[in-house]
Structure 1
């Protein structure tokens, strides 16, 4: 691994069929458009030997672990969100968890809330995070704000490998993250960066 990437990890957030593909009631409207950039960011991370952490939602089929405001979606006749073992919980085509990658299951917006992500990163000597995926105002933002609160040295969001329902929502949240010191390069800028 190149020294400049030794303490960096790529967090790929919620790039699952039920959250990206348009047939799902939970799909993020801008999600499909970023798929090529997410795939490329993963490829670049692999070439730099940056550890990849796949953060996914996997809920109980009865919705017992889902946020209170979403529990109605798990009623008998409703379409359920990303249920563990379902097709909707699978990564979208073109993305694959490889043996040296790490998969983390979450049930809330932040990848840090009620998970062992921080201890895993700390134990691996990671102090810089690059975050991609969906969606900007929820899981991306909450994870990034928690990372800043936990004093990660550098937190980066690749702006065209993340998405929200509209560009206005996306841009407003990127603006807020910039204001707390988060780096916000494009994929091209990140691919040509030294850190």
Structure 2
């Protein structure tokens, strides 16, 4: 793979992370899921993430692939978006990055990307609140290691903050729910977890 192709992959990944989190370093995203959405194999994801962490553009947040964009990563992406004809320290000019046949691409050639938002109906908001309440009720009862427990608590807080937002972001809600589901799927011996998983599946199907 050429150096130019490597730079493109790194940019695509960081741009996707920026758009998924709306440029908010407080949100944690699973790097494997993010890379899958870009069509990257696991080897490529690992190499891209290692580079971006090494350059201080993203940071690891949890075991299992939890990452977040850093302040410097946000600056880098916004510099590219503001000056698409010029390279940055790490990336090629935005307008020379050609994307073909990529689903859910985080880039629009020659323009900045607008994160998709969704205005939840009252019914969906109530369903989400029920999921949060169910998780809150069992979180102290289920057996998880400390890192996984902290990740679960973090995702609950993310969901709560999105409910309070005037414009909840569908992609952030979806990723948080997927992470919660993944954590709960590893829990054994609690009768409530299958019900919560089913509720999540109904929300994000």
| TM-score, scaled to structure 2 | 0.25
Structure with the higher fraction of residues in strand conformation = 1
* Greater Rg over alpha carbons, structure: 2
Structure with the higher fraction of residues in helix conformation = 2
Using CA pairs under 8 Å that are at least 6 residues apart, name the structure with larger relative contact order, 1 or 2.
Answer: 1
